[in-house]
Amino acid sequence: MKFIDEFRDKEIAQGLIQRIRAISSRPIQLMEVCGTHTVAFFRYGIRGMLPAHVRLISGPGCPVCVTPNRDIDLAVALSRRKGLIIAIFGDMMRVPGSTSSLQKEKAEGGDIRIITSSLEALQIARENPGKEVVFFAIGFETTSPTIAVALLQSKREHIRNLYFLNSQKRIPSTIRTLLQAERIQIDGFILPGHVSTIIGSEPYQFISSEFNLPAVITGFEPLDILQGVWMLARQIEEKRASLEIQYKRVVHEKGNPVAISKIDEAFERDGALWRGLGWIPDSGYGFREALKDRDARNLEVEVEPSKEHPGCLCGEILQGIKAPTDCSLFKRGCSPENPIGPCMVSLEGTCATYFKYL
């Protein structure tokens, strides 16, 4: 397959492994921030190909996993409101809240619909003018432009019945928080290529300039990943700390200006609540003044007090402090069929990935 097979070539892959082995002399810990990378490392068998002293730590880059219980509980409460439709991305269906999940509410008769594009929420609202429609808007910078377009379009078309339960997140500030917390030793970052397709490389400059750590914006094919690891290993050995772009065929320094301008038109930067990491300044989006009437948090419902499962380590797993195998619930009560924490739900959640491949 064109543009795929070139990046899965066995000989080149083996060559890159040799180069990593040749250059990397001491134990290093690399954080792959994004769940898509975690899956790719396992799926292509890359973890087993790397030298044993290259340790990979999974980061917080799974949008379902970092959505706080508070927001899931609010969605659950909203779904119980008569005549209200909840539109969600599929993974959110099974994420357990404090006492319920949207899947359970659907079985109880809640009108909850899975969509694959933000614009479908708009369509549901158009087709159901007599009902309130709430779009549970989660995602990172990769999804935000589409959410912004749906929001702006609803305003333009005077669609009054569509509300946004905004739980979007931004990656760069979260990395800063992880580094400031100093709870984990990280020698370099494998940064998600698709996020930088939107935001460019500039927002990550601080990793090298302020924290003196190497970082490589990396694609998702096996050769991309191996090259990314090699670039990090080389920087570490040469005692350099720069921000480099491996995924040059897609990522530009300035990102995608059209997408950025759409986000900017709809949202302003704001703090956000992350599961496991708490409130992080400048890590999310708030509505622009003219669009605040579309905020689903304005809808009045009674929400149960949020609580976490006491044994669940998702919070620490999202920060890379613990691995899924450190959790006493992992494979013992918590499984993809019966998830206790969100990291076991999403296809790109760290626990679900470990469960599937380990």
Partner 1 sequence: MSEKILLAHGSGGRLTHDLVREIFLPHLSNPFIEPLDDSARLVSQGGPMAFTTDSYVVNPIFFPGGDIGKLAVCGTINDLSMVGAVPSYLSLSFIIEEGLSVEDLKRVLFSIRDSSKQAGVCVVTGDTKVVEHGAADQLFLNTAGIGWIREGIHLSGLNARKGDRVLLSGYLGDHEVAVLSQREGFEFEGNLMSDCAPLSDLVGKMLEACPSVRCLRDPTRGGLATTLNEIALMSHVGIVIEEERIPVKETVRGICELLGLDPLYLANEGKLVAICPPAEAERLLEVMKNHSQGRAAEVIGRVTEENPGRVSLHTGIGGHRILDMLAGAQYPRIC
Among residues 49 and 314, whose Cβ is nearest to partner 1? Answer: 49
> Distance (Å, rounded) from C-alpha 4 to C-alpha 298?
45
**Alpha carbon 303 to chain centroid, angstroms:** 25
Q: Which position among 6, 14, 26, 157 is part of the footprint of partner 1 (CB under 8 A)?
A: 14
Q: Which position among 54, 57, 93, 186 is part of the footprint of partner 1 (CB under 8 A)?
A: 93
Please report how close the Cβ of residue 113 comes to partner 1 at its closest, in angstroms: 11
Residue type, 218: T
> Distance (Å, rounded) from C-alpha 75 to C-alpha 105?
10
Identify whether the C-beta of residue 266 lies closer than 8 Å to the C-beta of residue 152: yes
Q: Which position among 18, 22, 53, 90 is part of the footprint of partner 1 (CB under 8 A)?
A: 90
Q: Does 9 contact partner 1 by CB under 8 A?
A: yes
Please report how close the Cβ of residue 146 comes to partner 1 at its closest, in angstroms: 14
- Rounded to 5 degrees, φ, ψ at 83 are 75, 15
Identify whether the C-beta of residue 353 lies closer than 8 Å to the C-beta of residue 38: yes
> Within 13 Å, how many C-alpha atoms sit on residue 45's CB side?
5
Sign of CA dihedral 260, 262, 265, 269: negative
Among residues 143 and 208, whose Cβ is nearest to partner 1? Answer: 143
Token look-up 């669940």 returns: 312
Please report how close the Cβ of residue 357 comes to partner 1 at its closest, in angstroms: 6
Q: Does 52 contact partner 1 by CB under 8 A?
A: no
Residues 97-126, mask of contacts with partner 1 (x by CB under 8 A): -----------------x-xx--x------
> Distance (Å, rounded) from C-alpha 209 to C-alpha 193?
20
Q: Segment near partner 1 (CB under 8 A), from 43-51, 180-188, 192-200, 266-274?
A: 43-51
Q: Does 290 contact partner 1 by CB under 8 A?
A: no
> Distance (Å, rounded) from C-alpha 252 to C-alpha 151?
26
In the chain the beta strands, taken as DSSP E runs, fall at 28-34, 54-61, 84-89, 111-115, 132-139, 162-168, 188-192, 215-218, 243-245, 267-274, 278-287
> Distance (Å, rounded) from C-alpha 279 to C-alpha 247?
31
Please report how close the Cβ of residue 352 comes to partner 1 at its closest, in angstroms: 7
Q: Does 249 contact partner 1 by CB under 8 A?
A: no
Please report how close the Cβ of residue 208 comes to partner 1 at its closest, in angstroms: 29
Please report how close the Cβ of residue 123 comes to partner 1 at its closest, in angstroms: 10
Sign of CA dihedral 209, 211, 217, 223: positive
Please report how close the Cβ of residue 120 comes to partner 1 at its closest, in angstroms: 7
> Distance (Å, rounded) from C-alpha 228 to C-alpha 247?
9
Tell me the number of residues near partner 1 by CB under 8 A.
37
| Contacts of 123 by beta carbon, 8 Å cutoff, 6+ apart | none
Q: Does 356 contact partner 1 by CB under 8 A?
A: yes
* Nearest-10 Cα torsion for 229, 14, 7, 227: 20
Among residues 101 and 173, whose Cβ is nearest to partner 1? Answer: 101
Q: Does 94 contact partner 1 by CB under 8 A?
A: yes
Q: Which position among 45, 129, 257, 333 is part of the footprint of partner 1 (CB under 8 A)?
A: 45
Q: Segment near partner 1 (CB under 8 A), from 10-18, 161-169, 249-257, 313-321?
A: 10-18
Could you list the residues that contact partner 1 (CB under 8 A)?
1, 4, 8-10, 13-14, 17, 42-49, 90-91, 93-94, 114, 116-117, 120, 222-223, 335-337, 339, 345, 347, 352, 355-358
